[in-house]
């Protein structure tokens, strides 16, 4: 499948929502420390509902540890400072979809990292700063999964006659 990465997430419910997203899509969630919460935080657990056991989540102490786990994959850094739309990428299994902290986004240092394949953005109306982190992650995850023909998804229910 693919990898969702949150670099230094701060708000527990956003990560809890991402846990639900990766449980639903089969993606792998990677969290790069420092985190603004503990993995036992009540808000994180509440937002993730009963999906924690169904999700593949790894916490990495540094960006270097993340790279060791996911490279040589293609890495797409989501930022409002990009020209390429996330919808213009032809995603492949194993791609990395990377997001920064809720309050600042990915730092210039992370965006300049040679492991980054491309910077991408989610289009918005003019004058808007950003979308919620877990919303962005879900948009990106489902676009990547759609391009993979929703590989592994449960079959659609048969309509009642």
Walk me through the domains of the chain, giving residue ranges and CATH numbers: 3-147 (3.40.1280.10)
What pLDDT does 130 receive?
Answer: 85
Exposure of 146 in the CB half-sphere (CA atoms within 13 A) = 9
pLDDT in tens, 85-134: 999 999 999 999 999 999 999 999 999 999 999 999 999 999 988 899 99
What pLDDT does 54 receive?
Answer: 81
Whether pLDDT at 161 is above 60: yes
Q: Which residue has the higher pLDDT, 13 or 30?
A: 30
Averaged pLDDT for residues 57-63: 96
Determine contact, residues 41/19, Cβ cutoff 8 Å.
no
What pTM was computed for the model?
Answer: 0.92
Q: Which residues have CB under 8 Å from 126's CB, separation 6+?
A: none
């Amino acid at each position: 499948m693919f990898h969702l990465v949150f670099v230094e997430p701060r708000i527990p419910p956003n990560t809890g929502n991402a846990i639900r997203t990766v449980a639903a899509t089969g993606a792998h969630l990677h969290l790069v420390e420092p985190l603004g919460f503990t993995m036992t935080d009540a808000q994180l657990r509440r937002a993730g509902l009963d999906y924690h056991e169904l999700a593949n989540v790894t916490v990495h102490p540094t960006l270097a540890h993340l790279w060791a786990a996911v490279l040589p994959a293609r890495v797409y850094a989501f930022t409002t400072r990009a020209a390429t739309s996330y919808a213009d990428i032809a995603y492949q299994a194993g791609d990395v979809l990377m997001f920064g902290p809720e309050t600042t986004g990915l730092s210039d240092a992370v965006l300049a990292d040679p492991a980054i394949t491309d910077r991408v953005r989610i289009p918005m109306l003019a004058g808007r700063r950003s979308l919620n982190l877990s919303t962005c992650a879900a948009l990106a995850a489902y676009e990547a999964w759609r391009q993979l023909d929703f590989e592994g998804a449960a079959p659609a229910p048969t309509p009642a006659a």
